[in-house]
Amino acid sequence: MEKSVRPAVLQAISSIRERYFEPITLADLASEVFVSRFHFSRMFADATGVTPGRFLAAVRLFEAKRLLLTTSLNVSDIVCSVGYSSVGTFTSRFSNAVGLTPTQYREPQVAELLVAISPNLQRLPPLRTLRAAGHNCASLQPGTGTLAMDLGLPEGSAPADTLVGLFADPVPQCGPVAFSGMAEMRSGELTIPGAPAGRWTAIAVAQHRPGSAGPRFSIGYSTVQVAPSGRSTARIELRAPAQTDAPIAITLASKQSPYTQRMLASQRPHLRSAA
């Protein structure tokens, strides 16, 4: 997959990952790869699915989450380490995106229920931990639809503990509106009950059993439409993580962010009229 991505995009992604703590601008990235800002933005979005600014923000928030969970640095030190100049601005943006304050993010359950995919950190919580937490622990409120996901795991890969979540944002920072998981899964169907009606980004993550020639982790994305009732269907083809994937670190213990609440409200007219 990465062989088909323009070298300019991969170079820009490398710069973002290496210099995310600096005040990088779109003009800076475009000039590094010798193309116009407009052409660079379009090229980058075609390759990654998001704008350069969204990708940079995802890298910064990922690193902030990593530091909150793995170090004892105070929040002001972390703010400086990830490229923000104001603690207040960082705290506001973090809380709005994640649904938890930076301090709340250090609660033990956040780390226990963390799903992380990046070049240097790949993690899926044990499915027994998810079951103990409750199937809808990350949901704002359960929906009435059922989504049957047809999952295609990479060819030659070993069986995998697999998790599929539905998100309001293609680069999620908070927990899914619905999710389901299965241990030792091969290609096949995984059902997500209690899915809210609407259009969502489905993200599948699989942690494969060691000892095969295939990837240790695989990931897949798909835009899905869930009907208000009955059974909806969709398919995701999983693959090894790529450099063009924006990093993901979400906890299934998180509350819904204001953004997800607005998405849910906009997709349920009866809720808007009752508000």
What DSSP designation does 187 have? S
pLDDT at 172: 93
Report the alpha-carbon distance of residue 64 to residue 207 in Å, rounded: 24
Residue 268 has pLDDT above 80, yes or no: no
Question: Taking a C-beta distance cutoff of 8 angstroms, is the pair 16, 55 a contact?
Answer: yes
Name the residue type at position 242: A
Sheet holding 122-123, edge to edge: 122-123, 114-117, 248-251
| Range name among 27-31, 59-63, 126-130 with the lowest pLDDT average | 126-130
CA dist 26 and 102 (Å) reads 27
Which CATH fold topology does 114-268 show?
Answer: Immunoglobulin-like (2.60.40)
Comma-separated ranges of CATH 2.60.40.1120 domains in the chain: 114-268
Higher-confidence residue of 185 and 275: namely 185
- pLDDT band for position 85 (cuts 50, 70, 90): confident
Alpha-carbon span 248 to 49, nearest angstrom: 14
- 104 pLDDT more than 90: yes
Q: Which residues, other chains included, contact 229 with Cβ-Cβ below 8 Å and sequence gap of 6+?
A: 144, 145
**For the residues 127-154, what does the mean pLDDT come to?**
74
Give residue-wise pLDDT tens across range 157-189: 999 999 999 999 999 999 899 999 888 999 999
89: which residues sit within 8 A by CB, 6+ positions away? Answer: none
Per the prediction, the chain carries an average pLDDT of 86
Which CATH number applies to 2-106: 1.10.10.60, 3.40.1710.10, 3.40.50.300, 3.40.309.10? 1.10.10.60
Q: Which amino acid is at 32?
A: E
Spatial separation of the C-alpha atoms in residues 140 and 263, rounded to whole Å: 11
Kindly report, as residue ranges, where domains of CATH 1.10.10.60 are found in the chain.
2-106
Cα–Cα distance measured from residue 227 to residue 35, given in angstroms and rounded to the nearest whole number: 43
| Helix axis angle, 52-70 to 7-19, nearest 10° | 40
